[in-house]
Chain A
Amino acid sequence: MGILEVKDVNKRFGGLQALGDVNLSVTENTCHAIIGPNGAGKSTLLNCLVGKLIPDTGSVMFDGQSVLGRTPHEINQLGISRVFQTPEIFGDLTVMENMMIPCFARRDGAFRLHAIESVGSETELREQAEQMLEDVNMLDKRHMHSASMSRGDKRRLEMAMCLVQNPKLLLLDEPTAGMARADTNNTIDLLKEIKDKRDITIAIIEHDMHVVFSLADRITVLAQGTPLVEDVPEKIKGHPKVQEAYLGESA
C-alpha cells in the first residue's frame, strides 16, 4: 500500500477526457516520476492531488485519508507540499519572511490570530528557517527582496519553503522547465540531496528525460489521460509502447 493511492480517477472537461481510469500508487520514500507527451493529463492529475480540481469519479487517498473535497490548504496540512512550474513565492517579502510563513503554517495551522506577538521574538522558528536556508545555500540571501532574485534562486527558495514544512509528499511540477542546463543540474543535485538526507516521498512531473532518469525510482508514463506503463527507469527506456507514444515513431 503506497502513501499515495490514486484509484480509477476520471476527469472530463466538456468533450475532452482529460483523465481516464488513472490508477497510481506511490510508495513511501521513493521518487516517482510521471511523464508523458503534452496534453497527456499530467497537470490535471497533479491538480486533482492538491485539491485544485475534483475528479468526476474515483478516489485519491493520501496516508490513509481521502483528499477529495478538501481545499488546497487542508491538503497541505495533511503533509503534501507543492512546487509550481513557475516559482510561486511571496515576491513582496524578504527571503527570510518567505521562509517564516511555512514555519508558522506548520506550527499554528491554517489560521491563528497572533496579531500582537512579534515575528522577531520567534527564535525557534527563525532557527528552523535559517537552518533550511543553509541547507539550500541561501543563508547569505536571507535579507534579500525575493522578487529581485534569479529564477534559479526563486526555485531554490520555493523548494526550501516546501521542505521546511517537513512534508510527507513533495509534488514537483516540471521543476526545471525553462531552466538553463547549469541550473537544471543544480536542481537535480539539490533534489538528490533531499532524497538521500530525508525520509520524503517525491512525485515529479517532468519533460526533461535527463532529470527524470537521474532522479526517479519508478516512472509512470501517461498518454491521452491513461497510464501506459509503470516500471523502473531501466525498463521504461527501452519499452516499445513508451517509445511509440512518447518519443514518437522515429525514436
Chain B
Amino acid sequence: MFGLEKKDRSLLILVALLTIFAPFILNPFPEGSAMAQFNAGYPDLMQRFVIFGIFAIGFNILFGLTGYLSFGHAAFLGVGSYAAVWMFKLLSMNVVPAIVLAVVMSGLFALLIGYISLRRSGIYFSILTLAFAQMMFALAYSVLTPITGGETGLQLALDDPRILDGAGASAGNIPVPSLFGLEMRDSADLVLGSWVFTFNIGYYFCAVIMLLAFYLSIRIFRSPFGMMLRAIKSNQQRLNYTGLNPKPYTLAAFVISGMYAGLAGALMASMDPLAGAERMFWTASGEVVLMTILGGAGTLIGPVLGAGMIKYMENIISKINSDILHGWFAFLPDGLEDFVVTIIYPFIGKGWHLTLGLIFMAVVIFLPGGLVEGGQRLAALFRRKKTSTDDGSPAKTEPAE
C-alpha cells in the first residue's frame, strides 16, 4: 500500500491517527481545571503544530540527508506567505491558487539562492544562506514596501480586486480564506462532560497537507535520490569518483526543501491572511534548525516532534505566570512557597527560552539523535526488561539499524 515498506507504512498510519485525533489527544484536561492551561487542543496552536511540522519536514530533507545546514530557510517561508496573500488580494480567497503560487515562487527563489550558495559547503554555505535571508528580510522591511507592506506587513483590504470572487463576495467585511466555500476559521465544538473539543476546518486542511508532505518525504527518504543525498553527506569524494555529480543533487534537495517552506508559509497565510517581514528574520530560520535537531535530524518523524515540542513550549510554558505558580504551590508554607516560586519563575512566562535552551542542550549532549533517539532508547530498555522477565521464551534480537 502506498508503495511503502511495512515499517514506514505503520509510521505513516500512526502519524495520521495522531493528527486526526489531535483535538482529543491535546486536550486531556477538563475545562476550568487547574491543568487546563496545559491543553494545546485549540485551533490556533494545532495549526501551528502541523504548519511548522511541514516546515521542519522540508528542512530535514536538506539538512538531515545532505548535511548542508541552511540558516536562511525562513526566507522561503516569507516568500510563500507574501505570494499567498497577494493571491488572496488579486485573485481569490480560495486557498488552492494561493498555495500553488507560494510553492512555485519559493521554489524559484530557492533555485536562485541555492545555485549561488551551494558553490560552497560547510560554514560558508550556512553564512551565504543566512546572508541571503537577511537581505530579503531587510528588503521586505524597507525598499520593497509596495510589495510587502513593509513594517505593517501585507494585509487584505476591502478594495482588493479579487477577480475571481466577484464584487459581491466582500459585502462590507474583509472575506476569509476558504477552500471552495469551506471557511478556514470555521470550527465545531464537541462538549463531553466538562471537556470541550474543537474541530477546526483550517486545522484539518493543514493536517491533510502535512500528511501528504510527510508521505512525500518518506518516499524521498527511501528513493535512490534520497540515498544519493545521504551519500553526499557521507563522502562527496567517493561520489565524484563514482561518476555522480553531487551539485544537481544538493540543488534539487535545496529547492524541494525551499518549496516545503513556501508551502508552510502559504498555510500560515491561509490560516491568518497577513504576512510580515519578521517571518523571514534569522531567528525564524534558527528555529527550524532547532526543531530538526531537537527531534532528530535525518529521521522521518523527528522534525515533526521537534516542531511540536518547540511550539508547545512557546505557547504553553510562556503563558504560565507567577500568579499561577503561587496557585500551584499554595499548599506550601508561605516562606517556602515564595522561595519555590522565585526559583521556578525564570523558567516560565517570558523565560520559556531558558527552559527551551536547557532542554536543547540536554538533548544535544545526551541524545545526539534527538527525541527519536530518546524514544528508541526507551523502547530498547523496555524490550530488554521484557526479555529478562519471561525467561522461558528465547530473546528476540533485532538487528541494529
Contact = CB atoms under 8 A, between A and B. Distances in A.
Interface stretch (B232-240, B289-297, B330-338): B232-240
Interface string B243-280: 11100110010001000000000000000000000000
Given A93-B230, A115-B225, A102 B242 contact: yes
A71 B244 CA distance: 10
A101 B222 contact: no
A82 B243 CA distance: 10
A112 B223 CA distance: 11
B242 to A, nearest CB: 5
Interface string A115-145: 1111110100000000000000000000101
Contact of A72 (B226, B235, B241): B241
Contacts of B243: 73, 76-77, 102, 105-106, 109-110, 165
A81 B242 CA distance: 7
A116 B244 contact: no
A109 B215 CA distance: 27
A115 B219 contact: yes
Contacts of B32: none
B216 to A, nearest CB: 8
Contacts of B239: 73, 90, 101
B399 interface: yes
B179 interface: no
Contact of B224 (A77, A119, A145, A161): A119
A4 B241 CA distance: 18
B241 A90 contact: no
A163 to B, nearest CB: 12
Interface hub of B220, B222, B240 (most chain A Cβ within 10 A): B240
B398 interface: no
A95 interface: no
B223 A118 contact: yes
Contacts of A100: 224, 227
B323 interface: no
B3 interface: yes
A223 interface: no
B391 interface: no
Contacts of B234: 90-93
Interface hub of B219, B233, B241, B245 (most chain A Cβ within 10 A): B241
Contacts of A73: 239-245
A110 B400 CA distance: 32
B399 A104 contact: no
B228 interface: yes
Interface string B195-220: 00000000000000000000000011
B244 A105 contact: yes
Interface in B128-178: none
Contacts of A206: none
A101 B241 contact: no
Given A71-B240, A88-B241, A165-B243, A93 B226 contact: no
A114 interface: yes
Contacts of B226: 115, 119
A13 interface: no
Contact of B235 (A88, A106, A119): A88
Interface hub of B3, B231, B242 (most chain A Cβ within 10 A): B242
A102 B240 CA distance: 11
B2 to A, nearest CB: 11
22 contacts: A71-B245, A73-B240, A76-B242, A76-B243, A89-B238, A90-B238, A90-B239, A92-B230, A92-B233, A92-B234, A102-B243, A106-B243, A111-B249, A115-B223, A115-B226, A118-B3, A118-B219, A118-B222, A118-B223, A120-B222, A122-B224, A161-B242
Given A111-B249, A116-B223, A122-B224, 12 more contacts: A73-B245, A76-B240, A81-B242, A90-B238, A90-B239, A110-B244, A110-B248, A111-B248, A113-B225, A113-B248, A161-B242, A165-B243
Interface of A: 50, 71-73, 76-77, 81-82, 84, 88-93, 97, 100-102, 104-106, 108-120, 122, 143, 145, 161, 165
